[in-house]
C-alpha cells in the first residue's frame, strides 16, 4: 500500500481500526480501478453506490433509531479518511449526509423532522444541501441578505444563494435567512433562523449551475428564492436561533474537512511513490534521484504531522473540549498541507501529471477548494490570532 504512517491512530480503539481497515479495503478493491473515469466524468458506478448504501456509509453518524450506525465522530473520521482516498464524487455525498445536515437535525429537529429526513439520509435516498453562502456573504455569514418574512401560518423566503454543493440534486435545503416580522421592517442583524425547504416547494428555482475549476462533478448551484412560503413546521430549531445552530457545527465540519485533506493527500503520495518506483529516466528510476526523494519525504513528513494533530482533536471532540481556534488550527494546517503535497506529487509525475486524465491532476484541482470552503485560510488565521491575543500570549 505504499507509504503509510500511523501517527494519530493511537487515538483509535480496536473497533475503529477495524472499520478503518474495512473502508480501506473497500476503496482498494472496488473504487481505485475506476479512479480516472470517475475523476473525469463525476459518474460513480452503480455497484459502488450500492455498496456504500449496503455498508451503511451514508448514515454513519445518524442515530440508530433513524436507520444509521450511530458512530461517534472519531470513528467517522477514521472511515472518512480512507473513503477520501477515492475521487471526490464517491465520498463527498457520504460526507454530506453525515455532516452538518444530519447533525443539525439530530440536535435541533423536532420528532417529525427527524422521522421525515434522517432515515432517508441514512439510506442514501435523501440528499441534503446546506444553503447559506450568498454573492455578498461567504465567510462573513452574518452579512447574508436572504430574508424570511412572517406570513400567516409560516414564512416567506426571498433571496439568492450560490456555490451550494448538491444544490441541484438536493431533496431538502437547509436555508439560513434573516427574519422580518413585518414586511416593511429592516431585518435584524442577529435574528437568523434555519428553514427546511423541500424539493418541489413553490417559490424557489435553480438559477444556474456553477462549474468549478475542479470540473462539473461537484454540482455547485445558484438558487433563487422568490416568495418561497414554508410553514412553521419547517423551522429547524428555535426561531432566531439559526446562526447559533450553524456555528455549533463548525468544529465538526472543520475537522471533517481536515480528515478529507488527509485522505486525499495520502492518495496523492501513494500515486507519486508508485510512479517514482517505476518511471525510468537517464538509466534509473526517478525515485533514485535525491530531488524526487525530497519531494516525497517532505510530503510524508507534513502528512504525518497533520494526521497526529487531526486525530488528537477528533478524539477530544467527543468530550466537547475542542475550542473554536483549535478546530481552526487543524483546518488551516491540513488544507494548506494538502495543497503543498498535491503540488509536490504532481511535480514527481512531470508533464504526465498535468494531463486532465491523470488522477494526480484531479487531486491537485480538488484540494484547492480546501483553503476556501468552510472558512478561508485567512479566516482561520484570524480566529487563531484572536485567541492568542485574548489570552495575552
- DSSP structure string for 364-378: HHHHGGGGTTTS-HH
The Cα 37–Cα 179 span in angstroms is 45
CB distance 269 to 277 below 8 Å: no
- According to DSSP, residue 217 is labeled G
What nine digits make up the cell of 323? 475550542
The Cα 106–Cα 90 span in angstroms is 24
Kindly state the greatest CA–CA separation across the chain. 79
Across-strand partners of 165? 220
- DSSP structure string for 41-108: H-PPPHHHHHHHHHTTGGGSSS-GGGTS----HHHHHHHHHHHTTS-HHHHHHHHHHHTHHHHHHHHH
Nearest alpha carbon to residue 104 among 225, 228, 247:
247
Is 35 noted as a catalytic residue in this protein? no
Choosing from 134, 253, 302, 326, which is the catalytic residue? 253
Nearest alpha carbon to residue 296 among 335, 330, 269, 317:
269
Give the number of other Cβ atoms within 10 Å of residue 36's Cβ.
16
Q: What angle do CA 160, 254, 299 make, to 5 degrees?
A: 120
193: left (phi over 0), alpha (psi -120 to 50) or beta: beta
Nearest alpha carbon to residue 261 among 163, 166, 333:
333
Catalytic residues: 253
Amino acid at each position: 500500500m505504499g507509504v503509510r504512517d500511523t501517527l494519530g491512530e493511537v487515538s483509535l480503539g480496536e473497533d475503529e481500526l477495524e472499520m478503518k481497515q474495512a473502508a480501506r479495503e473497500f476503496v482498494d478493491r472496488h473504487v481505485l480501478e475506476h479512479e480516472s473515469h470517475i475523476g473525469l466524468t463525476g459518474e460513480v458506478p452503480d455497484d459502488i453506490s450500492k455498496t456504500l448504501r449496503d455498508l451503511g456509509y451514508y448514515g454513519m453518524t445518524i442515530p440508530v433509531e433513524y436507520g444509521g450506525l450511530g458512530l461517534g465522530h472519531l470513528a467517522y473520521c477514521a472511515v472518512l479518511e480512507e473513503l477520501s482516498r477515492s475521487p471526490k464524487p464517491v465520498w463527498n455525498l457520504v460526507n454530506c449526509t453525515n455532516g452538518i445536515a444530519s447533525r443539525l437535525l439530530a440536535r435541533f429537529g423536532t420528532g417529525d423532522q427527524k422521522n421525515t429526513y434522517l432515515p432517508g439520509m441514512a439510506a442514501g435516498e435523501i440528499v441534503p444541501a446546506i444553503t447559506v453562502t450568498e454573492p455578498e456573504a461567504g465567510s462573513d455569514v452574518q452579512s447574508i441578505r436572504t430574508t424570511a418574512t412572517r406570513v400567516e401560518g409560516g414564512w416567506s423566503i426571498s433571496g439568492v444563494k450560490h456555490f451550494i454543493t448538491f444544490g441541484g440534486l438536493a431533496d431538502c435545503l437547509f436555508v439560513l435567512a434573516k427574519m422580518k416580522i413585518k414586511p416593511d421592517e429592516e431585518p435584524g442583524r442577529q435574528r437568523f433562523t434555519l428553514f427546511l425547504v423541500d424539493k418541489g416547494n413553490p417559490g424557489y428555482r435553480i438559477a444556474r449551475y456553477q462549474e468549478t475549476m475542479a470540473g462539473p462533478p461537484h454540482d455547485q448551484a445558484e438558487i433563487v428564492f422568490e416568495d418561497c412560503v414554508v410553514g412553521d413546521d419547517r423551522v429547524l430549531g428555535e426561531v432566531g436561533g439559526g446562526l447559533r445552530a450553524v456555528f455549533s457545527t463548525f468544529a465538526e465540519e472543520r475537522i471533517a474537512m481536515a480528515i478529507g485533506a488527509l485522505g486525499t493527500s495520502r492518495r496523492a503520495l501513494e500515486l507519486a511513490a508508485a510512479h517514482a518506483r517505476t518511471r525510468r529516466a537517464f538509466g534509473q528510476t526517478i525515485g533514485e534521484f535525491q530531488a524526487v526523494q525530497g519531494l516525497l519525504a517532505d510530503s510524508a513528513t507534513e502528512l504525518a504531522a497533520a494526521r497526529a494533530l487531526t486525530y488528537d482533536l477528533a478524539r477530544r471532540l467527543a468530550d466537547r473540549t475542542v475550542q473554536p481556534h483549535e478546530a481552526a488550527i487543524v483546518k488551516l494546517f491540513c488544507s494548506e498541507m494538502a495543497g503543498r503535497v498535491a503540488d509536490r506529487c504532481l511535480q514527481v509525475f512531470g508533464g504526465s501529471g498535468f494531463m486532465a486524465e491523470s488522477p494526480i491532476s484531479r487531486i491537485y484541482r480538488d484540494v484547492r477548494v480546501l483553503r476556501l470552503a468552510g472558512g478561508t485560510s485567512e479566516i482561520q488565521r484570524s480566529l487563531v490570532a484572536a485567541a492568542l491575543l485574548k489570552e495575552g500570549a
